[in-house]
Chains A and B, each alone.
Chain A
Amino acid sequence: MNLTINNSSVPIPDEQRLEPLVWVLRDTLGLVGTRYGCGIGVCGACNVLMDGKVVRSCQTMTETAIGKTIITLEGLAVGDELHPVQQAFLENPLQCCWCMTGHIMNAVELLEANKQPSPEQIDDAMNDNYCRCGGYNTIRANVERASEIASLQPASKRLVIRRKT
């Protein structure tokens, strides 16, 4: 079984077909930027992009990712160039940051669909991820900032996540 993760095709042992994707990413592939927080789909720490849409990797059987394009936190930057959302979180970090991947992935999906979200739209899109350290207002501000950074990018690069090649 092969998965397409961050633009490379990666072999996965067959017996892990029915394991939650979060553990295959973390333990088998060492892509530890995808976090675990609850395992039941509530906290959002395990968010990854599957064909450009946020999914909870703790709720995703590994085999359902076959043939899909998975992007994890590690795959957002292009070379040394951080994704605008990463850039915003770098400028204005959270605290322990265990939750951060989830917020970043949510924001990437939001900005893909809506380059200039209103504060209400940000609240709606970002509400389903926990931050126990309480960085919610930093998160709100960072999504606005990321939208601003993205708007300054040349039009050719406006596509904020890399598509399947």
Chain B
Amino acid sequence: MKRAAKPKPDAATRWKTTRRRFLIAAGSLGVLSIGGYFGLEAGRPLLVDRIEGGGAPSSPAPSNPNLWFEIKEGNIIFYAPKFEMGQGIQSALAQIAAEELEVDWQSLELRQPNSQHGFAPSFMFTFGSTSVKDLFKPIREMAASLREMLRTEAALQMGIDASSIDIKNGVCSLKTDSSKTLSYGAVVAAKKGEWVLPKTPPALKAKNQFTTIGKPLSRLDAKSKVTGQAVYSMDAQAKGMLFGAVARAPRFGAKLETARAGQAESQVGVVKVVLDVANNFAGVVAQTRTQARNALKFLELTWTGGTSISQAEIDTLVTAKAGSGVVIRNRGQSNLQGDVVTASYRTPFAAHAHLEPLAALANVKEKSIDVWVGTQAASSDESAIKKAVPGDRSIKIYPMQMGGSFGRKGSQTAAPEAARLSAAVGKPVHVAWTREEEMQQSFYRPPTNTLLQGTLENGTIKAIQQVTASGDILFSVIPIPAFIKNTIGFDFGVLSGQFLPYNIANYQVRNQRVDLPIPTGPWRGVGLMPNVFALECFMDELAVAAKTDPLEFRLKHTNNPRMKAVLEDVRTRSGWATQAPIGSARGVAYCTAVGTYVAMVVEIRLEGKQIIVERVTVSIDTGIVVSPSNAALQAKGSVVMGLSSTLLEKITIENGAVVQTNFKDYPLLTLKATPKTIEVHFMDSSEPPSGMGEPVIGPVPAAVANALFALNGQRLRELPLAL
């Protein structure tokens, strides 16, 4: 019954670059491979462009592609450098690829990349809702070139002109006699000599020619998931593997002072106790996971230093003060005159609560380290592993399916922990975090406080001054020296959703960085949801002051056509102009994020002090929708996660440690509390696709808070909303 996650050795493929930024595998008969190299700016494989220079003859590529197709008799394999954490990205990319390749999308065999194929893990990352947005064009270009190469070769093999060939479902057939066919596989199998790219890039289909993109297809990984065959990091197994558990500090920042194995060594099943005070590490390896965790309790450890900060002290630190911080936008006059509307909004620390905790399997050998781990950023894992296990070993990372992530698995430590323990015992070791560890030893969505002051003139906004105080988001994951952080003075992650997207003549925004002794970092949407909560509640407060309908008030302050369109659409679909059912009220909120426009109306009622969300209507413009079913799931899932944050979630700190321990004191939204009607509508668009993983979470808390105000006149300015 064991499930082996063995590395599959791949024959080294020699890639050569071509004139047009693609790479073609050379010298492997019977296989046609074409790929590209995608760095941070996907779509512009700069490295290959540079190597090509002025059209020098093909030469062995100094680097390998990180996205490529392999066609051989019987199958087409598509390697795409994006990690699956539930967002359906692999299926969405297959939909894009199948379109220009002219194959049934289900016939594509999708593989997650791994570092064994030769490319550096530093280019393996998935974050910020960028996958579809960045790869939409390059994948289609590559697939179209591939198709044309196959057409040319098929024509050659059939002894006819390429223009006489039709291609459908991976089969080339003669236009005048459809009984004469050659499948892609057959064309590749019969090919002699090297492949060459078409001289000019083939034209790409227009939106109205799409047959696969935009169709509500299911997911390629569904079958393996319903039958329990899908392999996540917590499932990774290898022959002879052992299980590890790691001791945790009692408060953030504390260091191991002394460590003794004590009775741990003599506990049942214990293979080794690993103590490394200098590196702040104490762990146990045992035959079973339960034995390892049990033995941890018998270690004799003392800890020193660290923080003893309390929540009250943190709240004081995270206080936005007028005029403080760094000015990041300054438009028009910066002083306020006349009647000033002032409001201050707060959001708490929050946990990711991805349902599959961190886990990794590592196998450290004399010359190599193999690691199976669910990750959003393999590069940071690699450097962490290198640090944990010094020495000259080649590191190979096999990214696994993730049971949710929401930012958490962009910097995870299970991999270096497993590697450290594996190195100590010379066998594969699996480490999986407990929920308690996730709740108490993670990094968190940082607390924020936003101070907004605004004035009106003739019912429109005249001036706004905004100060956003926030703990770090990206500073904690990008290795930047402290002095540079201090010089810059604000964290880029906070920028997401930080600007009011409305026409405001006089607008000043300040960003006040709060350096907390509690680890904080990216959480779905980074700064988006806390920012939009403050901004969109404030828009409501201004609308009230201006005695204008809040949706009308928003429309009045924009002339962006896409923004107007989603606001108008949600107005119609939600029945905004009609009376809400008795005892209910509606609230609206809007945001733009990663190129996507989102307008939301929420309808709520009260049961005692409990907010019951009855209905959510969302209108979204995300450009061309590649995979409508996945996009809708992302949108609805964002609504649910947003409601959970709005109504329930809060991490608090006492004595430098997290108070909450598990889901019993950090509950998540359940099925019954989820509105039965979450209506998602995508605007028809021919614009290129933009991000869908994060934007929809933005407006949720503000829409609920605004609905509450409409219902009973109570203005709540702190999350979670508590009456």
Q: A37-B355, A40-B662, A73-B227 are in contact. Are A90 and B222 (CB under 8 A)?
A: yes
- The residues of B that contact A89 with a CB separation of less than 8 Å are 222, 225-226
**Which residues of chain A (36-61) have a CB below 8 Å from chain B?**
36-40, 42-43, 45
Q: Interface size for chain B: under 10, 10 to 19, 20 to 34, or 35 or more residues? A: 35 or more
Tell me which of B1, B268, B434 contacts A15 (CB under 8 A): B268
**Which residues of chain B (425-480) have a CB below 8 Å from chain A?**
430, 432, 434-436
Q: A29-B1, A100-B225 are in contact. Are A95 and B633 (CB under 8 A)?
A: yes
Contact B664 A137 (CB under 8 A): no
Contact A36 B234 (CB under 8 A): yes
Q: Among the interface residues A28, A96, A129, which one has the most CB atoms of the partner chain B within 10 A?
A: A96
**Which residues of chain B (207-242) have a CB below 8 Å from chain A?**
218-219, 221-223, 225-232, 234-235, 237
Interface: A101 (CB within 8 A)? yes
Interface: A154 (CB within 8 A)? no
Bound: A29/B2 CA distance, A = 7
Interface: A127 (CB within 8 A)? yes
- The residues of A that contact B222 with a CB separation of less than 8 Å are 89-90, 93
B436 nearest CB neighbor, chain A only: A39
Q: A23-B289, A126-B671, A128-B670 are in contact. Are A134 and B225 (CB under 8 A)?
A: no
Contact A98 B639 (CB under 8 A): no
Contact A31 B668 (CB under 8 A): no
**Which residues of chain B (402-416) have a CB below 8 Å from chain A?**
402-404, 406
Interface: A69 (CB within 8 A)? no
- The residues of B that contact A31 with a CB separation of less than 8 Å are 1, 228
What distance in Å separates the Cβ of A108 from its nearest Cβ neighbour in chain B?
12
**Which residues of chain B (259-307) have a CB below 8 Å from chain A?**
268-269, 288-291
Bound: A40/B435 CA distance, A = 9
What distance in Å separates the Cβ of B361 from its nearest Cβ neighbour in chain A?
11
Residues of A contacting B: mostly: loop
Contact B218 A91 (CB under 8 A): yes
Contact A123 B662 (CB under 8 A): no
What distance in Å separates the Cβ of A142 from its nearest Cβ neighbour in chain B?
10
Q: A39-B435, A43-B663, A137-B678 are in contact. Are A98 and B228 (CB under 8 A)?
A: no
Contact A82 B227 (CB under 8 A): yes
What distance in Å separates the Cβ of B613 from its nearest Cβ neighbour in chain A?
12
Contact A123 B663 (CB under 8 A): no
Contact B227 A123 (CB under 8 A): no
Q: Among the interface residues A38, A119, A129, A132, which one has the most CB atoms of the partner chain B within 10 A?
A: A132
Contact A72 B228 (CB under 8 A): yes
| Count, chain A residues at interface, CB 8 A | 60
Bound: A43/B436 CA distance, A = 13
Of the listed stretches B63-71, B83-91, B538-546, name the one at the interface; the rest are far from the partner chain: B83-91
Contact B227 A33 (CB under 8 A): yes
What distance in Å separates the Cβ of A74 from its nearest Cβ neighbour in chain B?
5
Contact B226 A90 (CB under 8 A): yes
- The residues of A that contact B434 with a CB separation of less than 8 Å are 39
Q: Among the interface residues A101, A123, A133, which one has the most CB atoms of the partner chain B within 10 A?
A: A133
Interface: A161 (CB within 8 A)? no
Q: A38-B435, A43-B355 are in contact. Are A93 and B404 (CB under 8 A)?
A: no
Contact B355 A132 (CB under 8 A): yes
What distance in Å separates the Cβ of B715 from its nearest Cβ neighbour in chain A?
27
What distance in Å separates the Cβ of B90 from its nearest Cβ neighbour in chain A?
12
- The residues of B that contact A82 with a CB separation of less than 8 Å are 226-227
Q: A19-B288, A93-B218, A100-B225 are in contact. Are A133 and B356 (CB under 8 A)?
A: no
Tell me which of B232, B288, B355, B672 contacts A23 (CB under 8 A): B288
Q: A90-B223, A95-B637, A129-B671 are in contact. Are A32 and B404 (CB under 8 A)?
A: no
A129 nearest CB neighbor, chain B only: B671
Q: A26-B235, A43-B663 are in contact. Are A74 and B228 (CB under 8 A)?
A: yes
B678 nearest CB neighbor, chain A only: A137
Q: A40-B435, A42-B664 are in contact. Are A97 and B86 (CB under 8 A)?
A: yes
Chain A 68-106 against B: per-residue CB contact (8 Å), 1 yes, 0 no? 000011100100001000100111111111111100100
Interface: B636 (CB within 8 A)? yes
Contact A127 B670 (CB under 8 A): yes
Bound: A126/B663 CA distance, A = 17
- The residues of A that contact B86 with a CB separation of less than 8 Å are 94-98, 133
Bound: A32/B235 CA distance, A = 6
Contact B234 A32 (CB under 8 A): yes
Interface: A139 (CB within 8 A)? yes
Chain B 463-502 against A: per-residue CB contact (8 Å), 1 yes, 0 no? 0000000000000000000000000000000000000000
Contact B87 A134 (CB under 8 A): no
- The residues of A that contact B667 with a CB separation of less than 8 Å are 42
- The residues of A that contact B290 with a CB separation of less than 8 Å are 16, 19-20, 23
- The residues of A that contact B640 with a CB separation of less than 8 Å are 131, 133-136
B433 nearest CB neighbor, chain A only: A36
Contact A101 B288 (CB under 8 A): no
Bound: A28/B242 CA distance, A = 11
- The residues of B that contact A96 with a CB separation of less than 8 Å are 85-86, 354-356, 401-404
Bound: A40/B436 CA distance, A = 10
19 further interface pairs, Cβ-Cβ under 8 Å (given A30-B1, A40-B664): A15-B268, A19-B288, A32-B228, A32-B235, A32-B237, A36-B357, A42-B664, A82-B226, A90-B222, A95-B88, A98-B356, A98-B404, A127-B670, A128-B670, A134-B641, A134-B644, A137-B674, A139-B671, A140-B671
A-B contact pairs, 20 of them (CB 8 A): A23-B289, A27-B243, A27-B430, A28-B288, A30-B237, A32-B3, A36-B357, A37-B435, A39-B662, A40-B662, A40-B664, A73-B227, A96-B404, A99-B355, A130-B355, A130-B668, A133-B641, A134-B639, A135-B633, A135-B636
Chain B residues proximal to chain A, CB less than 8 Å: 1-3, 85-88, 218-219, 221-223, 225-232, 234-235, 237, 243, 268-269, 288-291, 353-357, 401-404, 406, 430, 432, 434-436, 633-634, 636-641, 644, 662-664, 667-672, 674, 676, 678
Per CB-CB distance, the 4 closest pairs between chain A and chain B, nearest first, are A33-B228, A96-B86, A98-B403, A134-B640
